[in-house]
Structure formats: C-alpha cells, structure tokens
Amino acid sequence: MMTSNFVGGSFLLKNSNPKDIFIPEEFSEEQKMVFDLVKDFMLREVHGMGLEKLATLDAEKDREKVLEIFRKASESGLCGVSIDEQYGGMGLDFNTGLLYTEALSLGFSFATTIGCQTSIGSLPIVWYGNDEQKAKYLPGIASGELACSYCLTEPSAGSDANSGKTKAVLNAEGTHYILNGQKMWITNGGFADVYIVFAKIEGDDKLSAFIVEKKFGGIDLGKEEKKMGIKASSTVQVFFNNCPVPKENLLGERGKGFNMALNILNSGRIKIAAGGVGGIKFGMEKVIDYANQRVQFGVPISSFGAMKQKIGKMATMAFVLESGVYRVGDDVDKKHKELLASGSSGNDAKINAMREYAIECAILKIHGSEAMCNAADESIQIFGGMGYSMETGVEMAYRDARITKIYEGTNEINRMLSLAEFYKRGFQTKELDMKAAMKAVPMSVLNNWNPFSGGGDFGKEMELITNLKTVFLIITGSAGGKLKSKLVEEQEIVMNLADILAMAFLAESAFLRVAKLKASKATDQKELNIKVQMAQLFLYDALETARLAAKNAVDSYADGLTKWAMHKLVNGMLKSYAINPKDLRRNIANYYIEKGKF
C-alpha cells in the first residue's frame, strides 16, 4: 500500500501540526477575486431585484426571470468553475471552488440552481467521463448553453438510493439503452438539457450512470414542486418512457453508478458546509446592521447581552466551520497532486482525492447545515417581528436553509456514514492504522492523572482535543466489544458517537488555525485574540456536547462495572475547561458589532 501524507480520517489517530494545514487567511488575491466576482454577481443580479420579490419568486411562474439570471451567471463564467480550461471552464482547484461556493450561498435559491450546474449536475462527467463525453458536453455546460441536473432519487428510493427501479435495457440492435423509470425531487429538472441518470442495466443489482439529453425524447416532466423554501429553484419529477440513450452515453463503468453517486455527494456535502459559512457570515452583516439601528428601551438592541450571545455564537460557528472546510478542501487538493505524481490518471486522481475525505465531508455537511439553520432561526429572533416579514429576507433564509439538513444525504444518514466510513477504513481497508491508535489509548488515559500535562501553545486545549478522540475510540471499542455487529442497529449510539467524532475534528481545526496564526508574525493581534476566544468558546461547548453524547452512549449499552468505569473515565478525560462563556461571547460580539461584519 502506498504511504501517504494525506489520509482521510487520520485526524482521529494523530495530532496534526499547524504548519501542515491550510487556513483561510492564506487565500491568495486571485482566490479572493473569485469570491468577489461571485458575491458581486449575487448582490447585483439576485439581491438587486429586492428581497421581497426574491422571496416570492416562483420556479414555475417566474421561469423567464430564473433563466435570465442563470444565463447572466453563465455569461459571467460562473457555470464553469469545476470544468477544465481545455473545455471552456475556469478549472479551479477544489479549495477555490469551495470559496466560490461560500460566495454562491448569497444567491438563496440561485445558489441551488447554479450549485447543481457546477457540482452534482456536471461533476459526474468531469470526474468519470471519457474524452469524447467531456468534449461533447463540458463546453456547453461551462457556457450555460446546456443546463444540467442529477437524477438519483426515486419515489421509493430516497436515502436507500441504491434500491432505485429505473431500468436500462440494451435494444436489439445493440445501439441504445432504452430507459424506463421515474425520478423525483430533481433540481434544475424543469429546464435541464442534460440529465445524469442513475439506473440499473437489465438484471443488475447495482446502479450504472448515463448522460441523457432531453432531446433524445421519451422524457416527461412533472409540475414544479410546491416547496417550503428555495422556491425559485426548479424541482420536478422526471419520467423516462422508452427514452433511447446511445450506448456510448454510459458514464464510467457498468455497475459502478452507486459509487459514483456517493462520491459526487461527498463533494456536495462539503460544499453545503462552505455555503453555510457564507450564509452565516452574510446573516451576521444583516443582523448587526439591524441590531445597531433598532432602538428599544432607549438603546440599540445590539447593546443587550441576550442579543450579543446570539451574535457571538453565530460568529463562532462561522469561524469553526470555515477552519474545517478550507482545511479539508486543501487536503483534497494535496491528495489530488500526490495521486497524479504517483501515476494516477486525471479522472482517478480527482475521484480518489475526494473519496479519501468522506468522513470529514460528512461531518462538515452535518454541522454546516445545522449551524446555518440555527443562525437563520436566531437571525429572525434578533429582527423580532421584522424577521417574520417577507420584506427583510430573513424568513426566506430560514426557509431556504432548512433543505440543507435533508439533501445530499440526510443528516442522520451522514452521521451513520461518518462512523461506517471510519470502521471501513480502520478495520476493512486498513487505511487507518487502528492498531497503533488503540495502543496509544492507555498512555493517553494515563496522562490524565496529571491535571493538565500538555505544554506549548494551546497545550491544555490540544490535550482536551486528544481526549475527545480517545473518548471516541474507547467508547467505540467498548460498545463494539459488547454489541459486536449489532452496534450498527443501535442507531442512537451511532448518532452519539458521530457527535463526539465531529466535536474532535471541528475543535481541532479551530485550534490548529489559531496556533498557525499565532506563529505568524503578520497576524493582527486584536483579531487573533478574538479568533482564539472563538476557538475556546467552541471547545467549551464541544466538550459539553461530547459529555452528553458519551453519557447517552454509555448508559445505552453498558451496565455494572463497565458502566461505572466508563463514566469515571469519560469524566476524567473530558475535564472541566475553565473559561467565562459570557465574557467570551460578549467580546466576540462586540468585536463584530463594531466591525459591522464577519
């Protein structure tokens, strides 16, 4: 097996060096220009129509307006970000693509429309297409001439996507697959020219993927779905009735469609988190502006501790997520380069670099979507009655954000997936060195007999983060020992373990970032001080989340002496972390209230 410096999930088994991770402060001027290009577009073309109009824009009634914005986005180059330059795209690396996605989130429904075009709708061809398929489809997708969509879900196959019934049968002449079936919830489906369709060939039990053009015929569309949010985004059912698909439009290998679907979703998942970062930051601008102007009891409401607490929490989550998202985005790029250097083909390198970080992508998707939904909810609260009005756009953010906990795999599925992937890499493929990790556990536990033994920058915090990882490993080992293969059926325990795992990753990402910033002479000390406080505040909350999750897990599977010992161990390792959360939230909020934005 090739030894690699970039191993997904390895955050759990070793402590990273801050020098080795990417932090958002390191984005180049060119990368920031991509962000500004997208942000300016969204503010001009989408917000420019007025938030009340945007909130009522309807994918069916306002199709012309939706397509007009889609066309303008294409003309500005926004549809070709992940497509190589030789096919007319921008050929951005993955991490810059995440920065692009952060800015895209300002487009509300249009973030979904354009996000589908640049991600799930086109990446199957970018990553799995052969040269002919790329040459035929990618230039049109990059220019926006061809709108595209991704058809995996069916009425009876949602989370259980591999159970789809759509069938492809080769015709007697051997020239075309004849496609029959029904897809549901298809984003961009109402106006797409190209559909990536997942279907089973003849009697196969595994999915394959096809590039299907609307003009092939045999395609009927349902009416636009009436949805809670992202109302301007087209979502329809797509029916295939003897749709003839040329044989050469089979995408990738027969029977490998499900792997492809999952890998495309890995990329979609981290993009949801990048969108969450953008959404929370933008929400903060709006909230701070309003809270500074709105006077009650003779003072701006931004002066109230109850409001500062919310603003401090929003900023902290944007900071922590941002630390995790761009750390992983850069790791994907580095892994990609490493694979190319070791002789992988262009497609394989892209696919395997993404697959490597499935655990991290699932964690980021869950916590990005949940933080964004919480932030939207708290924004309404800060706006009071005006938050409930369509005029301000805040209720639209609340409705639009909610879908992110459902699509690209529900958050329950992603929690299970983060654990399943960890088991697979640790015990089946052995990509993670579990033996060494388990050997280190007793030492890690012993270290805890000293109050705080870690030294150096953030030694105390890094020790607590190591303990979060150790607690995860110990409970996983102990529950696995007792329940064996039945552990996967005890989903409540799996959810608890996934939360401990996520807290370790997110807290570590935040502290690695501030440690790197602290070591850099160029860092503004006032800003660093606030970033340190955000990392500390997150760790304080993360320990509480992990303590509760650990208690729930242990009380759910253990009894007798094991239960007693496990509680003792968890309490000893997840020690009290003495900060003043009120002061920290207030300091953080005051800093951003004064600055006016994140």
Ligand X SMILES: Cc1cc2nc3c(=O)[nH]c(=O)nc-3n(C[C@H](O)[C@H](O)[C@H](O)COP(=O)(O)OP(=O)(O)OC[C@H]3O[C@@H](n4cnc5c(N)ncnc54)[C@H](O)[C@@H]3O)c2cc1C
Footprint on this chain of ligand X (rule: CB under 6 A) = 116, 149-153, 158-159, 185-187, 227, 230, 235, 403, 406-407, 409-410, 412-413, 491
Closer residue to ligand X, CB minimum distance, 186 or 479: 186
Planar angle of CA 255, 256, 259, nearest 5 degrees: 140
Distance CA 36, CA 34 (A): 5
Cα–Cα distance for residue pair 226/586, rounded to 1 Å? 41
Is 135:83 a contact under the CB 8 Å cutoff?
no
Asked if 124 and 150 count as a contact pair (C-beta separation under 8 A), the reply is yes
Residue nearest to ligand X (CB): 158
CB 512 → ligand X: shortest distance, Å?
31
If the CB atoms of residues 162 and 491 are measured against ligand X, the closer one turns out to be: 491
SS3 category, 179: strand
Q: Which is nearer to ligand X, 235 or 536 (CB)?
A: 235
Rounded to 5°, angle at Cα 36 from 47 and 389? 25
Residue among 76 and 410 whose Cβ is closer to ligand X: 410
User: Alpha carbon of 466 to those of 436, 503, 512: distances in Å?
Assistant: 15, 11, 13
Active site residue 421: no
Shortest CA distance to 579 belongs to which of 486, 457, 460, 455?
A: 460
Complex with ligand X: residue 100 or 150, whichever CB lies closer? 150
Whole-angstrom Cα distance, residue 593 to residue 71?
37
Using a 10 angstrom Cβ sphere, with 0-12 exposed, 13-18 middle and 19 or more buried, the burial of residue 560 is exposed
**Alpha-carbon gap, residue 52 to 35, rounded angstroms:** 25
Say which DSSP state 574 is in: S
Closer by beta carbon to ligand X, 154 or else 378:
154
DSSP character at residue 81: T
Burial state string for 515-544 with b = 16 or more CB within 10 A and e = fewer than 16: bbbeeeeebeeeeeebbbbbbbbbbbbbbe
Closest approach of ligand X to the CB of residue 24, in Å: 29
Specify the 3-state DSSP secondary structure of 443: helix
| Nearest Cα to Cα of residue 125 among 113, 114, 111, 141 | 141
How far is Cα 517 from Cα 539, in angstroms, rounded to an integer? 18
The secondary structure element, H or E, covering residue 590 is helix 581-595
Shortest Cβ 417–ligand X spacing (Å)? 10
> What DSSP designation does 433 have?
-
Residue closer to ligand X by CB (options 88, 257) is 257
For residues 576 and 519, the answer to whether their CB atoms sit within 8 Å is no
Q: Which amino acid is at 523?
A: T
Residue 184 CB, shortest distance to ligand X, in Å, is 7
Taking the C-alpha atoms of residue 154 and residue 174, their distance in angstroms, rounded to an integer, is 27
Nearer to ligand X, 235 or 467 (CB): 235
Q: How many CB atoms lie within 10 A of CB 159?
A: 12
Q: 415-437 burial by CB neighbour count: b if 16+ within 10 A, else e?
A: bbbbbbbbebbbeeeebbebeeb
Catalytic option among 225, 408, 421, 461: 408
Take residue 160 and report the two structure tokens written for it: 């259980």
144 close to 73: Cβ distance less than 8 angstroms: yes
How many other C-beta atoms are found inside a 10 Å radius of the C-beta of residue 190? 23
Separation of alpha carbons 26 and 19, rounded Å: 12
Give the shortest CB-545-to-ligand X separation in angstroms.
Answer: 20
Tokens read off for 129: 């297409």
Instruction: Provide the pairing of β-strand 295-296 with 250-251.
Output: unpaired
Q: Please list the active-site residues.
A: 408
